[in-house]
Amino acid sequence: MNTMISYRDAMREALREALQRDARVFLMGEDVGMYGGSYAVSKGLLEEFGAQRIRDTPLSELGFVGAGIGAALGGLRPIVEIMTVNFSLLALDQLVNTAAALRHMSGGQFHVPLVVRMATGAGRQLAAQHSHSLEGWYAHVPGLRVLAPATIEDARHMLWLALQEDDPVILFEHAQLYNVVAPLAPDAAATVDIERCRIRRAGRDLTLVTFGGMLPPTLAAAEQLAQQGIEAEVIDLRVLRPLDDATIGESIRRTHRALIIDEEWRSGSLAAEISARIMEQAFYELDAPVQRLCSAEVPIPYAKHLEAAALPQPATIIEAARRLLGKQEAVTG
């Protein structure tokens, strides 16, 4: 029987399972303990598991990410929560120069089995300094595995798989997803992996490639396109490094058109990388150039209507899809 659960609660259950199953696992970060987490994901875990395993840290991302790396090198399996991706910039040295590189630089003698969780994305009127989507920055770095769970089942089951890795994993949780409620099947773990993307909707006319917080508006757009006689296939990347080129290529061979929806800024985005790979690997399958729909190249505005205008929306996804298919007239739903 399916259970209705929120994305937030699914993440909490994932944390609880990890702490129960493996004594080496602990959670550390700003406000994860007494406050219950900035997004209430770790609420109640301090009381359940105690201060040794749910550790509040000082406001120093550089410091506590470094402590997490040290704990991983010492044989533990730390989960480090960075409050938002914006604050992760303060820990880039630890993540890129140390965690990602140490296996290579030690000739395989040392591993860093570290999972770093962080909220990402815009849409909450938090303005330019707290609305970043920087997943592509981390997906650029060899030595990191980068995950973006966008569904309840991935939120519930990706964490344990990430903890089995001997090298660092970055797990992005889009803040707009925490309140999403959906059914979770008892056998949902069987549908989750950290190697391949997932087709969330089958289609024949074009492929919509997306991830994270852009999955719900993309699926909404696909439903509206279906009412107009256009069947769009929706791919949820969910694994941003390494990218699953094979599944994307198979979809292109069915639909012959691709539109990439990415909340990042267009220049240097993950959408640009995916577009290049499609052109390199499936050029002769395309009936039209690959198209991208990204956020406006501006610092994300605070005003609600301007923030909405800066981000891809179902209506703009529909417009871009119709344009890709040569249907120029605007249709809204």
Q: Could you give the residue numbers annotated as active site?
A: 61, 130
Quickly tell me which residue has 């000082």 as its tokens.
Answer: 58
Q: Per the structure block, which two tokens stand in for 25?
A: 């696992």
DSSP element (H, E) containing 216: helix 215-227
Helices (H), 22-151: 45-49, 61-73, 85-88, 92, 102-105, 135-139
C-alpha–C-alpha distance, residues 144 and 70, integer Å: 17
Contact 211, 135 (CB under 8 A): yes
Contact 98, 68 (CB under 8 A): no
DSSP reduced 3-state for 70: helix
Q: Per the structure block, which two tokens stand in for 26?
A: 């602990």
Distance of CA 3 to the CA centre of its chain: 23
Report phi then psi at 314, rounded to 5: -50, -40
